[in-house]
Amino acid sequence: MQRDVQLTVIGKVFKPNPNKVLALNMTLKEYFRLVRRYLSFNSTSKTLLHENGYEKAKRLFKLNTALIQTARDKTIEILKSFQKNRKDNSALRPNRVSIRFDKRCYSFSKTTNVLTPYWLTLSLFRGRRVSLPIVFGEKQKARIEEAFRGEWSFTTVEMVKRDGEWYAHFVLKKTVELPDEPETVIAIDRGEANLAVAVAISKKDPVKPMKGRFWRGGEIKRIRGLYSHIRRKLQEKNRIGKVKELGRRERHKVNQQLHIANEIVAYAKQFPKPIIVMEDLNGIRRKFKKSKRLNRRFHSLPFRKLQTYIKYKANLKGIEVRYLSKKETKNTSKICHRCGYVTQVKGRIFKCPNCGMEYDRDLNACINITHRLMSSMGWGSCEPPEPADVTGGVKPQPNAGSPRLQSGEAHICFGTSWSDGE
């Protein structure tokens, strides 16, 4: 099975001359005006927007026809993402937009120029082209060079204006081959106390989870704590501008920590024909509005962002990633993965009143997620196994001092193979 992997590489427009900046600014203004006009049709139908808008837009807007079309596509994306996240369209008023150039209206080449070898030529409107010098950071440069070697293909370029500076976002694409029939399901979940938890289950032995692993995200927690402290101090002194800048620095530091995704993918890669499963967290944020404290705890660890990295890195390594909807992962934290009993969990350990199993709660939830994917793929019997004969034939009484699972054996559990990932 083939899958497209996308990557965005950001470069900065390096000291462009004022005329070029003027032309870019004017194009942005026109483009934004056009997007708002398309938005006023309140439709996600390409045909409708084209029929009602295209001819008129050609007369009314000073834009390349290719740009008129990308503005339409962009409008549809804005509307769709809005409909997905919120119900009410009337509040939809984006305050900025980037300009999308597709292959018809940009070219990108490497030259022998001493300032920078990378030059991006954009066609803005009839007869008006600008060539812009682009500079990249080290990592970005490596990816762009890969693209010049043909390992990635160039798709679109988004021109973004931020704080008075222009940036070019190159969207690169690569097609990877993924195995048709995976043999190991690896669930990766955010935990109650961990940044991420992972567990693997083999098709050959669906009852036994293998090698649970934790990434606690301690460094991220430390960064978050530090910045929230500085932020409070600044707020006391009423320095709001500084607070904004601080937010950017914090995000950057946290993003640097997301290299944990590499470890997670390496973890998955050690198993034969792995497939990764995660919970689709779209819309989860809204559910937690009730408690501010809980809210902070949940979002202090950027699991959703981590998921995006994991998916990208995994696909590049030929590992498929599936998401399960909220509905499909219902109750995964409350169910005993061994006997299927539903109970409330208190504290870090899942204690099953029915079969007596004691297990790390995050790992238990993670195992349940693998089970859900396995049954949706039709893998053998993924029914909860019979309760193991843990107490020598006597059924354990609820809360009657259930025996602890032996670690290292069938259920490898917390403490045996965990790492902070740092």
Contacts to Zn ion by CB under 5 A: 336, 338-339, 341, 352, 354-355, 357
Rounded Cα gap, residues 169 and 151, in angstroms: 18
Instruction: Return the number of the residue (277 or 405) whose C-beta is nearest Zn ion.
Output: 405
Q: Rounded to the nearest 10 degrees, how much is the dihedral formed by the CA atoms of 68, 71, 73, 75?
A: -140
Q: In a 10 Å sphere around its CB, with 0-12 CB exposed, 13-18 middle and 19+ buried, how is residue 293 labelled?
A: exposed
For the CB of residue 212, give the shortest distance to Zn ion in the complex, in Å.
Answer: 17
Cβ proximity to Zn ion, 243 vs 339, nearer residue:
339
CB-CB contact of 173 with 152 (8 Å): yes
Comparing C-alpha atoms, which of 175, 205, 177, 187 is closest to residue 319?
177
Q: Pick between residue 284 and residue 339 the one whose CB is nearest to Zn ion.
A: 339
How far apart are CB 371 and Zn ion at their closest, in Å? Answer: 13
Min dist. Cβ of residue 210 to Zn ion (A): 19
Considering the complex, what minimum distance in angstroms separates the CB of residue 279 from Zn ion?
Answer: 22
Q: Between 117 and 384, whose beta carbon lies closer to Zn ion?
A: 384
- CB 409 → Zn ion: shortest distance, Å? 17
Tokens of 412: 């490898």
Q: How far is the CB of 334 from Zn ion (least distance, A)?
A: 11
Q: Closest CB to Zn ion among 164 and 401?
A: 401
| CA–CA gap between residue 368 and residue 374 (Å, rounded) | 10
Residue closer to Zn ion (CB basis): 57 or 382:
382
Tokens 């050609």 appear where? 58
Q: In this complex, which beta carbon is closest to Zn ion, that of residue 86 or of residue 348?
A: 348
Least spacing, CB of residue 287 vs Zn ion, in Å: 27
The nearest distance, CB 335 to Zn ion, in angstroms, is 9
Q: How many CA atoms lie within 13 A of 165 on its CB side?
A: 12
Q: How far is the CB of 187 from Zn ion (least distance, A)?
A: 18
Tell me the closest approach of the beta carbon of residue 198 to Zn ion, in angstroms.
22
The tokens describing 263, both together, are 């470890």
Whether 217 contacts 385, CB under 8 Å: no
Provide the pairing of β-strand 358-360 with 349-351: antiparallel
Q: Which residue's CB is nearer to Zn ion, number 324 or number 355?
A: 355
**Looking at beta carbons only, is 92 or 388 nearer to Zn ion?**
388
Q: How far is the CB of 396 from Zn ion (least distance, A)?
A: 9
Q: Which is nearer to Zn ion, 231 or 334 (CB)?
A: 334
Which one, 41 or 341, has the nearer CB to Zn ion? Answer: 341
